[in-house]
Amino acid sequence: MHAPIAEKKIKSRNYDAVAGIYETLANLYSFGLIRRAKLAELDYLKTGDRVLYLGAGSGEEAVAAARAGARVTAIDLSARMIERLRRRMARKGLTAELIAGDALVLAPDPLFDAVCGNYFFNVFGPDDMPVVLAKAATYVRPGGYLMIADMAPPSGPLGPLAWLYLKFGLSFFWLLGLASQHPIYDYRPHVERLGFRQVALNDHRLLGIGPALYRTLVFAKPEASA
Ligand SMILES: C[S@@+](CC[C@H](N)C(=O)[O-])C[C@H]1O[C@@H](n2cnc3c(N)ncnc32)[C@H](O)[C@@H]1O
């Protein structure tokens, strides 16, 4: 039995408190790799595409997508995050649909060409994450993309080092009430189980060497059958 959406919201409210520093902290902690993993999604967007950012935060990648000509919708439970994003877009003379609300209760019409969940699905515990992922998948139009930037599941001989580093960050988030404690997720089987096909998997490493720390995943939704 899954917790109702209202319960899922509780931790996310804490993002109001860190809205001003979240992105800077994330990029310092990851030496910019967190940002790089998000911006890698831009390669899969075309001018005029309708793209939805779930749990957008203050949305550096949403700004970049709008600047590249995508029609951006961004939603976040934290009103302060959305306010920061609104100011950012305005400063750059960009427009976007910005929603302070729950990403799990959208009913988009039409559906989006691309839906991005960046460091968003890892806010949820192992029971809820697949449910949230499945919900996000319903927002993608047939033939469109579901994109995820997130931590890479540790592997290879230096995997234990990567695990320590990532678990440190995750535990810090958990202590602040910003995320659940959970394993480093491998989203691939979950998304493929929803019928999506993997289009790209880009791993991001410190100085381009060493273990993969962050990952950009792109999946295509099957075209509607005739
Ligand atoms: C780890 S942060 C990532 C923010 C941003 N995507 C980034 O990469 O900088 C997770 C974000 O998800 C938001 N969030 C959590 N649950 C949500 C929900 N149910 N609906 C909308 N946003 C949610 C939080 O408020 C927070 O801003």
The residue extents of the domains of the chain are 5-220
Ligand 1 atom with the shortest distance to the CA of 102? 20
All residue ranges of the chain with pLDDT < 70 are: 1-12, 225-226
The pLDDT value recorded for residue 6 is 46
The pLDDT value recorded for residue 224 is 77
Which of 38, 76, 80 best tests ligand 1's pocket when mutated (most atoms within 8 Å of CB)? 76
Ligand 1: which residue has its CA nearest to atom 10?
120
Give me the amino acid identity at 155. Answer: S
Would the CB of 55 count as within 6 Å of ligand 1?
yes
Which bin fits 143, alpha (ψ -120 to 50), beta or left (φ > 0)? left
Residue 71 Cα to ligand 1 midpoint, Å, equals 20
Angle at the Cα of 147 (from 160 to 176), degrees rounded to 5?
Answer: 55
Residue 42 Cα to ligand 1 midpoint, Å, equals 19
Would the CB of 145 count as within 6 Å of ligand 1?
no
18 close to 173: Cβ distance less than 8 angstroms: no
Q: Quickly name the fold that domain 5-220 has.
A: Rossmann fold (3.40.50)
Would the CB of 15 count as within 6 Å of ligand 1?
yes
73 close to 96: Cβ distance less than 8 angstroms: yes
Ligand 1 atom with the shortest distance to the CA of 122? 1
**Position of tokens 């109702």?**
4
Residues 6+ apart with CB under 8 A from 77: 9, 12, 13, 15, 55, 100, 101, 102, 103
Residue 196 Cα to ligand 1 midpoint, Å, equals 23
The pLDDT value recorded for residue 181 is 84
| pLDDT tens, residue by residue, 193-202 | 999 999 999 9
The pLDDT value recorded for residue 193 is 97
The pLDDT value recorded for residue 226 is 52
Would the CB of 76 count as within 6 Å of ligand 1?
yes
Distance in angstroms (rounded) separating the CA atoms of residues 115 and 164: 30
| pLDDT tens, residue by residue, 7-44 | 455 555 789 989 999 999 999 999 999 999 999 999 99
Give me the amino acid identity at 124. Answer: F
